Amino acid sequence: MKPPSCPFTQPVLGSVLRLLLLIGLFTAMTEGTPLQAKPIEYFMQPGAPNLHLVEVGIAFTPKTGGGTVDFAIPAWRPGRYQIQNYARNVQQFAAVDEKGTSLRWEKIDKNTWRVTAPKNGAIQVTYKVYANTLDAGSTLLNDEEFYWNGTNVLMYVGGQKNSPTRLTLKVPGHWKVATGLKPGPDVNVFEAPDYDTLADAPGIASPTLDITPFEVEGVPYYLVFQGQLVYQGRPIPKNQIIINLKKAVGEALKIFGPAPYPNYWFLFHSVPDGRFHGVEHLNSTSITVPSSAFSNPATLFRFYSIAVHEFFHAWNVKRIHPQVLGPFDYSREVYTRNLWVAEGITSYYDDLLCKRAAIFDQKAYLALVASSINSLQSAPGRKVTPVSEASFDEWLTPDDARNVETDFYTKGALLGFLLDMEVRQRTENRKSLDDVMRYLNETYAKKGIGYPEDGVQKALEAVSGSSFSEFFSKYVYGVEELPYNTAVHVAGLEVVEVKLTDRAEATLGITLTGDERQAVISNVVPHEAGSLAGLDKGDIFLAIDGKQTTAGNLNEVLRSYKPGDKALVHVFRRGMLREFPVTFQGGGNLSYDVRAVSSPTLMQKQVLAAWLNEAGQ
């Protein structure tokens, strides 16, 4: 319990008083709007950029005086299903009444501040948030910008998540602001019908923000860049990006119909040495990209993939979502076995829409599908953890993740691919996964409700008119290997095994890390050669048959052996030299390729054309 006379430092008290003045003005402004309840007022003001502290204020007037009111900050954010505990960055919490008299408060759990309400009038809460991380889901304040994600910064009022909200951003007048929030009655004032909407619209405020509007089917879109706009003398190719995004947006609208949002914001940070990272929101996406992304074809593909991925989420997960993913319980983990749908099927559609929009050609697209197959088939966890359980347990990170985890992005994307082929096969190309997504949109999203845990299987069955129970039991709830070839035949494709000439066929089933002088075993795959021989994670790897072996030359050393050959491996374990006889296994040079069959039937040609929008190009 904190005493009413909190030991504020003078600068903090100063900012509180400034805030009070501001909130006082808002309170006056909101009077005379009888059609809606008085919004909960939020206020954000960047402090000294090198201290990275954002000042936040909330004014809330309880319906009845007295009692207590809880203010809580989310423990996680939609889009990342892991506990983040944003309360860790909250400091200098204070609460006052309208006269500026301190109110008693106490923390009742890690995320929640309980304030004793005054007999009448508003509770005015202030706190600061340390904001010094730049990724797609973070909040950053530095000398170039203020970038926020609401879940990181804005507390919700207990029992009031459905109340209307208004956010005032106090930034210098010459700064530009980009956010999907609805503009309010004044400059840098925004409104949202409830906390979920407020928190689901990140924003960037900066003097250097680059905003380019464009339009698709009468709806405004905004391409926004913050950060490095020129890389090695070449500016970001905004015109080309807009041409391609327009086509990809058009392909999504072909599936779902008119846009369900009034406008849409692509918020990019171009970061030197940055990484691709995106998060989806109701009518926006926040994405970080390396500044070099536009300089080579592979990373350019990645740029479009991630942009279209986050955009497709505007339907799949933001509107078509499992029941627990909206409205959200931000205080704790929420469980669903459908993240493979939310993320994986979105991953299936990101590259597919890029292909349909002719951003990629067929060859490039099929290479990406093959790359997903190779990625899944080389992951030991696919044999251990069903994708449904990987979804459910996304909140946990096993110590042995590399051997037990199933990546629901990759496996979910491949399931999307196989389900698409399966529906086309069963309906003789009259229906597809597009129809299933449309069915989910009409049946649940447009009614504002989430789908039940078995909703996707039911949707597949409704669209195709046949049972998917065996498919789900084997490949979603089970760990059977995916039947690529049975599925892809309908589109005149085949998944073929190819032997890579630069890769050794013999395998040890271990991963080495380290430099050219010393290697350490960083992973041992169960039931493979190294594991059967007794090698262990952490062993300092010395030699195979006396030949020094490191991460850099392991492949080269293994090329001297065939599957079934025996060798002696030497390692140091806890300071002692140890010797292990191993018997190599095979398959190290195996890779998968997706190809068109040489003489496709008319039906196969039609499926391929419909699936990849070949006819439309």
Contact residues toward Zn ion (CB under 5 A) are 343
Shortest approach of Zn ion to residue 333 CB, angstroms? 18
Shortest approach of Zn ion to residue 612 CB, angstroms? 22
Q: What angle is formed at CA 337 by the lines to CA 88 and CA 265, rounded to 5 degrees?
A: 60
Q: Is 577 helix (H, G, I), strand (E, B) or coil?
A: strand
Number of residues in the chain: 617
| Token pair listed for 28 | 């006056």
Nearer to Zn ion, 80 or 247 (CB): 80
Shortest approach of Zn ion to residue 317 CB, angstroms? 7
Phi, psi at 588, each rounded to 5°: -65, -20
DSSP 494-531: EEEEEE-TTS-S-B--EEEEE-SS-EEEEEE-TTSHHH
Shortest approach of Zn ion to residue 414 CB, angstroms? 16
Shortest approach of Zn ion to residue 226 CB, angstroms? 21
The candidate with the shortest Cα–Cα distance to 373, out of 415, 425, 345, is 415
Shortest approach of Zn ion to residue 351 CB, angstroms? 13
Nearer to Zn ion, 118 or 412 (CB): 412
Nearer to Zn ion, 343 or 420 (CB): 343
Shortest approach of Zn ion to residue 313 CB, angstroms? 5
Tokens 């359980």 identify what position? 389
Q: Is 329 helix (H, G, I), strand (E, B) or coil?
A: coil
All residues at 6 or more sequence positions from 413 whose CB lies less than 8 Å from its CB, including other chains: 344, 345, 347, 348, 372
The candidate with the shortest Cα–Cα distance to 418, out of 355, 386, 372, 449, is 372
Residue number closest to Zn ion, CB atom: 343
324 within 8 A of 334, measured Cβ to Cβ: yes
Nearer to Zn ion, 88 or 275 (CB): 275
Cβ count near 11 (within 10 Å) = 11
Rounded Cα–Cα distance for residues 525 and 403 (Å)? 6
The candidate with the shortest Cα–Cα distance to 229, out of 137, 146, 298, 293, is 293
All residues at 6 or more sequence positions from 598 whose CB lies less than 8 Å from its CB, including other chains: none
Nearer to Zn ion, 70 or 343 (CB): 343
Nearer to Zn ion, 343 or 528 (CB): 343
Nearer to Zn ion, 128 or 411 (CB): 411
Shortest approach of Zn ion to residue 170 CB, angstroms? 32
Shortest approach of Zn ion to residue 307 CB, angstroms? 12
Shortest approach of Zn ion to residue 260 CB, angstroms? 18
SS (H, E, C) 76-139: CECCECCCCCHHHHEEEEEEECCCCCECCEEEEECCEEEEECCCCCCEEEEEEEECECCCCCCC
- Give residue 225's identity as a one-letter amino acid code: F
Rounded Cα–Cα distance for residues 414 and 422 (Å)? 12
Rounded Cα–Cα distance for residues 382 and 388 (Å)? 11
CA atoms within 13 A of residue 211's CA, in its CB half-sphere: 19
Nearer to Zn ion, 343 or 405 (CB): 343
Nearer to Zn ion, 41 or 343 (CB): 343
Nearer to Zn ion, 269 or 489 (CB): 269
Nearer to Zn ion, 136 or 524 (CB): 136
Nearer to Zn ion, 343 or 422 (CB): 343
β-pairing, 576-583 with 566-573? antiparallel
Q: What is the DSSP letter of 283?
A: S
- Give residue 55's identity as a one-letter amino acid code: E
396 within 8 A of 353, measured Cβ to Cβ: no
All residues at 6 or more sequence positions from 21 whose CB lies less than 8 Å from its CB, including other chains: none
Shortest approach of Zn ion to residue 314 CB, angstroms? 11
Shortest approach of Zn ion to residue 309 CB, angstroms? 5
